[in-house]
Amino acid sequence: MKFFVDTADTAEIADLAATGLLDGVTTNPSLIARAGRDFLEVTREICALVDGPVSAEVVALDHAGMLREAEVLRKLAPNVCIKVPLTVDGLKTCKALTGEGTMVNVTLCFSANQALLAAKAGASFISPFVGRHDDNGFDGMELIRDIRLIYDNYAFATEILVASVRHGVHVLEAARIGADVMTAPPAVIRGLFRHVLTDKGIEGFLADWAKTGQSI
């Protein structure tokens, strides 16, 4: 499963990229607002920090406006992935852009039927929001299971990008189901490295090593 980080904080992205485990980045207008930086400038900078796809979201709601914004965004770097909302105009834009070879991430997916439409529109990635689904009394991971089943039934190439990930259990379940990608905030990714028994084990080994009086 590929790991994307869901942030526009370049310091966090650079730090995680240094682990060699980061496969891409996702941003959205809220994350850009949180970063407090110029959208085009920060997106260009993020694209230089990772080799993989960097999702940059359009804000126009109509097809012509989305195409115009995508034109600006895709000039930033070859690894820009245009993010469009799951609407009629968003999917029209997806079809047009992927037809020209541009990567597209269809976002704000909350049903398996929406994911089916995105795959038919040639989406490179579909982003079902599991955390927001859970928040509203639905089962986010059940949605991922349904999409996996449908995409496998028809051998769709669209990658399932599990978004709105809130904790390690979402990551574990996504991997069990066979999702292609998950995107999570930096803190959630950092949390995956940690285990109390790992810390305790290191502490014990170092205490015993000190008793030997040796060095390597």
Interface contacts to ligand G3P, rule CB under 6 A: 6, 26, 28, 129, 131-132, 163-164, 183
Q: Which single residue brings its beta carbon nearest to ligand G3P?
A: 164
Least separation in angstroms between CB 55 and ligand G3P: 8
Q: Are residues 114 and 127 in contact, defined by beta-carbon separation less than 8 angstroms? A: no
Cβ nearer to ligand G3P, comparing 139 with 152: 139
Query: What ranges make up the beta strands (E) of 149-213?
Result: 159-162, 181-184
Least separation in angstroms between CB 128 and ligand G3P: 10
Q: Which of 75, 83, 95, 120 is catalytic?
A: 83
> How far apart are alpha carbons 56 and 111 in whole angstroms?
22
Least separation in angstroms between CB 165 and ligand G3P: 7
> How far apart are alpha carbons 163 and 130 in whole angstroms?
6
Task: Residue 128: name the closest of 185, 66, 182 by CA.
Answer: 182
Cβ nearer to ligand G3P, comparing 29 with 65: 29
* Structure token pair of residue 47: 């694209």
Which H/E stretch holds residue 199?
A: helix 196-212
Least separation in angstroms between CB 101 and ligand G3P: 24
Cβ nearer to ligand G3P, comparing 70 with 163: 163
Does 2 qualify as catalytic in the annotation?
no
Maximum CA pair distance of the chain? 71
Which H/E stretch holds residue 4?
A: strand 2-6
* Cβ neighbour number for residue 44 with a 10 Å cutoff: 17
Cβ nearer to ligand G3P, comparing 6 with 69: 6
Least separation in angstroms between CB 216 and ligand G3P: 43
Cβ nearer to ligand G3P, comparing 73 with 216: 73
> How far apart are alpha carbons 45 and 50 in whole angstroms?
9
Query: What ranges make up the beta strands (E) of 27-146?
Result: 54-57, 80-85, 104-109, 125-128
What positions carry a catalytic annotation? 83
